[in-house]
Amino acid sequence: QVVKVILRALSDKRLAVRYASGFDAVWFPVFRWLLSDDIYDFFLKRMYRRFANAGSRSREPFQPNRAARLTASSRGSFRKVVLITGASSGFGFAAANILAHRGYRVYATYRNPKRLKALQALSREEDVHPLFVETTDTQSVEKAVKTLLQKEERIDVLINNAGFAMGGFLEDMSDQDLKDQFDTNLFGYIRAVRAVAPIMRRQRSGQIINVGSISGRIAVPALGAYV
């Protein structure tokens, strides 16, 4: 669902500010505004139990739809260049996989070398290029963008996706815990935007997609730092 919305944003001419992905992103804020606290708490507890049960079950590995692959003739020689942060797993990996199928040249960033194997395997099949980036380090972000630019001479799309959720109560967290959360989820996005925006301005073209969370609009218990 998230990748489907990313694809819609890439092809949309109206340049919307926000694209909702999934039932919860559309209706969860509405429910919260209309429901009383007691009913809202009831739904929250039901939701947490559902997530806990889902997490205990094994999931099938992600398999892209091979029918969505474009032929070499339809792709042509020009491919839009996409930079995806946090692409070694989750939404980022799925986006790298599908966008490569759709004819994009994908630079997929990773931070943990232990998660590089999946990207390397993908790169042997698709136009995906693993790129090390530590989004909490400005120099690392700028170096990666410079490396990409030297190879491609342009960057058409930035998908800001690298992030993590720090669970726990605020009273138990240190200042450093909170700084780490914001350094990745907020300032990491800003670093990437600052690195690519001048390039896109010179090109007079480009798109930036920031992957967010419904928790940015509606608070949930025990995720204070993330919210």
**Residue 133 and residue 163 in contact, taking contact as beta carbons nearer than 8 Å:** no
Please give the single-letter amino acid code of residue 139: Q
Task: For residue 125, give the H/E element and its range.
Answer: none
Query: What length is written for the chain?
Result: 227
Q: Looking at the DSSP assignment, which residues form a beta bridge with residue 70?
A: none
CA of 54: how far to CAs of 12, 27, 47, 58, 59, in Å?
33, 21, 11, 8, 9
Beta carbons of 152 and 131 less than 8 angstroms apart: no
In sequence order, the β-bridge partners of residue 128 are 106
Q: Which of 107, 110, 189, 226 is catalytic?
A: 226
**107 is annotated as an active-site residue:** no
Task: Give the Cα separation of 122 and 83 in Å (integer).
Answer: 15
Helix (H) or strand (E) holding 190: helix 187-203
Question: Residues with catalytic annotation?
Answer: 226
